[in-house]
C-alpha cells in the first residue's frame, strides 16, 4: 500500500509534540513491509530543506522524502486584516505555500497513492480544494482545534479587560475553526483523534463518513525511563514545553503568580525550572521571581526532569494528550496536575498523579508531596506502570494500520 504523509514540520528530531507523534508513525510504517511510505513536509523554520539534517534519518524509513521551505510568518497586520475581512480561520492560512502546492502536484502526477494522510488540521487546506483525488484521505487531528480556541477564549475573558481583545479574537477563531473542521471531517474519508474527549468534541460538529478512530499519543519507554536513585534535588519542581505556546505561557504565569508564593511561604528554598524553547516575554520575565529559572532551549530536557522532586502541569487550557505528562510519568516522576492537564489521559486521581485546580489546593498538594518521599515513590511507580500499559508506542501504532487499510 502506497501512503503519502503530509506534515507541517520535519518529524525528525522528535523533540516536541507533533514531531514525536509523526516520527513514530514514520518509523512504524517504514518498517512495515505492507506499506511504501512517502513523506512531503515543511522543513523547520529557517532550515534549508535541501541541507536538512533530518533527511538522512527519514530516508531510512521512506521510499521518498521531499522537504519544502517553511513559509515566512505572516505579519500581525496581515492576520488582523484577514481576521476582519476573511472567513477562514487563521490556522487554515498559517502554512499557505505555492511551493508546497507545486511539490504536492508533482507527487500526485508521478505516484498513485492509496492513502494520503494529513498530520493536523493546518495541512488540510492542501487537499480540501483538490478535485479528482482517488486516494483515501485521512486526517489526523492532533487537537480538536475549535475546542482549544474555545478554552483559550474562556480563560482570556475571565482575565480582565486587558485580555478582552485576545478573548474576542479567540472567540472568532473558535467559530471559524468549528466550521472549517466540520468541512474537513466531511471531506476526508477517515479522521483520527488523540483521545476520547477530543473524539467526542469532533463528533459534536456533525456526521462523518466513518467513525472517528482514537490513536493516542505514546511514549518511547526506552528513551524515557527513571533515572538513578538519589538524582533528585529536594524541593525542586519542573515544567517542560514549548514556551511560546499560548497554553504553556498561561500555565506557568498562573502558577508563578498564584501558586508559587504559597509554596515559597512554606518552603523558602524551593526551586522551579521552566524548561523549553522560545520563551515568550511573559515567561522570560518570570525569572525575576525568587527561585525561578527560565532555561530557554536545552539539549536534553530529561536532565531537568530527573533532578526534580515533582513535575507540575498547571494547564488551564489546551487539548489533545500532553506528551509532557506521559514523559514525566514514564520517567518515574510524581506529578501534580490540573484536571485540564490530565485531559485525555484516563488516570485515576490520587493513584497515578495528584489532581488539583485551585491555586490553594495546587500549592497544598505540592507541599504535601515535598514532605512525603514515600508517597512520591508510590506515585512514581504507579505512573510508570500506567504508561507502560496504555501509552507504549509499540502497542499504539498498529492501530494506524487498521485506519489506513480501512479495516
- How far apart, in whole angstroms, are the C-alpha atoms of residue 97 and residue 140? 20
More confident residue, 78 or 39: 39
In the structure, what pLDDT confidence band is assigned to residue 240 with cuts at 50, 70 and 90?
A: very high
> Do 142 and 194 lie in a common domain?
yes
Q: Do residue 325 and residue 281 come from a single domain?
A: yes
- Percent of the chain exceeding pLDDT 90 equals 80
Predicted pLDDT of residue 348: 84
Q: Indicate whether 407 pLDDT > 90.
A: no
Q: List the Cα angle 81/184/245 in 5-degree steps.
A: 55
Same domain for 165 and 35:
yes
DSSP 58-105: HHTT-SEEEEEPPPPPPPHHHHHHHHHH--S-GGGGTT--HHHHHHHH
- Co-location of 349 and 213 in the same domain: no
Sign of CA dihedral 56, 35, 391, 136: positive
Q: Are residues 160 and 201 in the same domain?
A: yes
Q: What is the pLDDT of residue 209?
A: 74
For the stretch 41-84, pLDDT in tens is: 999 999 999 999 999 999 999 999 999 999 998 888 887 788 77
User: What is the model's pLDDT at position 95?
Assistant: 95
Number of domains in the chain: 2
pLDDT at 109: 95
Is residue 351 situated within a structural domain? yes
Q: What is the CATH number of the domain that holds 295?
A: 3.40.50.2000
Mean pLDDT for 313-336 is 90
- Least confident piece of the model among 71-75, 112-116, 325-329: 71-75
Whether 174 and 276 map to the same domain: the answer is: no
- Please indicate, yes or no, if residue 139 is contained in any of the structural domains: yes
End-to-end CA distance of the chain: 14
- 214 strand-pairing partners: 193
State which residues form the domain around 258.
236-390
Is residue 10 located within the same domain as residue 144? yes
pLDDT value of residue 406 = 82
Instruction: For residue 227, tell me if it sits in a domain.
Output: no
pLDDT of residue 320: 62
Q: What is the pLDDT of residue 309?
A: 95
With 90 as the cut, is the pLDDT of residue 131 above it? no
Co-location of 36 and 133 in the same domain: yes
Residue 76's pLDDT is what? 80
pLDDT band at 107 (very low <50, low <70, confident <90, very high): very high
Q: What is the pLDDT of residue 356?
A: 97
Considering the domain architecture, whether residues 133 and 255 belong to the same structural domain is answered as no
pLDDT grade, residue 321 (50/70/90)? low
pLDDT at 207: 84
Place of cell 501512503: 3
Is residue 350 predicted with pLDDT exceeding 90? no
To the nearest whole number, what is the mean pLDDT of the chain?
A: 93
Q: What is the pTM of this model?
A: 0.89
SS3 107: helix
Same domain flag for 203 and 258: no
Residues 29 and 117 placed together within one structural domain of the fold: yes
Query: pLDDT of 134-188, one tens digit each?
Result: 999 999 999 999 999 999 999 888 888 888 888 898 999 999 999 999 999 999 9
pLDDT of residue 333: 96
Number of Cβ within a 10 Å radius of residue 226:
15
Q: Tell me the percentage of the chain whose pLDDT exceeds 70.
A: 99
Amino acid at each position: 500500500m502506497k501512503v503519502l504523509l503530509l506534515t507541517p514540520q520535519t518529524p525528525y528530531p522528535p523533540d516536541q509534540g507533533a514531531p514525536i507523534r509523526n516520527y513514530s508513525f514514520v518509523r512504524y510504517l517504514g518498517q512495515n513491509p505492507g506499506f511504501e511510505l512517502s513523506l512531503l513536509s515543511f522543513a523547520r523554520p529557517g532550515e534549508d530543506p535541501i541541507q536538512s539534517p533530518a533527511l538522512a534519518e527519514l530516508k531510512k524509513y521512506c521510499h521518498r522524502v521531499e522537504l519544502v521551505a517553511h513559509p515566512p510568518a505572516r505579519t500581525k497586520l496581515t492576520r488582523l486584516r484577514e481576521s476582519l475581512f476573511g472567513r477562514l480561520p487563521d490556522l487554515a492560512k498559517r502554512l499557505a505555500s505555492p511551493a508546497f502546492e507545486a511539490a504536492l502536484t508533482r507527487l500526485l502526477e508521478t505516484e498513485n497513492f492509496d492513502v494520503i494522510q494529513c498530520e493536523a488540521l493546518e495541512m488540510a487546506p492542501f487537499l480540501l480544494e483538490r478535485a479528482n483525488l482517488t486516494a483515501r484521505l485521512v486526517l489526523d487531528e492532533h487537537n480538536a482545534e475549535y475546542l482549544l480556541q474555545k478554552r483559550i477564549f474562556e480563560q482570556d475573558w475571565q482575565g480582565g479587560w486587558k485580555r478582552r481583545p485576545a478573548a474576542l479574537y479567540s472567540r472568532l477563531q473558535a467559530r471559524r475553526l468549528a466550521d472549517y473542521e466540520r468541512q474537513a471531517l466531511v471531506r476526508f474519508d477517515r479522521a483520527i483523534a488523540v483521545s476520547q474527549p477530543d473524539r467526542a468534541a469532533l463528533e459534536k460538529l456533525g456526521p462523518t463518513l466513518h467513525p472517528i478512530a482514537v490513536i493516542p499519543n505514546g511514549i518511547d519507554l526506552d528513551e524515557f525511563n527513571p533515572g538513578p536513585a538519589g538524582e533528585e534535588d529536594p524541593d525542586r519542581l519542573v515544567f517542560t514545553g514549548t514556551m511560546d505556546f499560548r497554553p504553556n505561557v498561561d500555565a506557568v504565569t498562573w502558577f508563578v503568580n498564584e501558586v508559587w508564593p504559597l509554596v515559597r511561604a512554606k518552603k523558602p528554598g524551593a526551586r522551579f525550572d521552566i524548561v523549553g524553547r522560545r520563551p515568550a516575554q511573559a515567561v522570560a520575565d518570570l525569572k525575576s521571581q525568587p527561585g525561578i529559572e527560565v532555561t530557554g532551549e536545552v539539549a536534553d530536557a530529561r536532565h531537568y526532569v530527573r533532578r526534580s522532586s515533582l513535575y507540575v502541569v498547571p494547564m488551564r487550557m489546551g487539548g489533545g494528550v500532553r506528551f509532557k505528562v506521559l514523559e514525566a510519568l514514564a520517567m518515574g516522576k510524581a506529578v501534580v496536575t490540573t484536571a485540564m492537564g490530565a485531559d485525555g489521559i484516563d488516570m485515576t486521581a490520587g493513584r497515578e498523579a495528584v489532581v488539583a485546580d485551585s491555586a490553594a489546593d495546587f500549592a497544598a498538594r505540592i507541599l504535601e508531596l515535598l514532605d512525603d518521599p514515600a508517597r512520591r515513590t508510590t506515585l512514581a511507580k504507579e505512573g510508570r506502570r500506567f504508561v507502560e500499559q496504555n501509552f507504549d508506542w509499540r502497542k499504539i501504532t498498529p492501530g494506524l494500520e487498521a485506519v489506513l487499510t480501512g479495516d
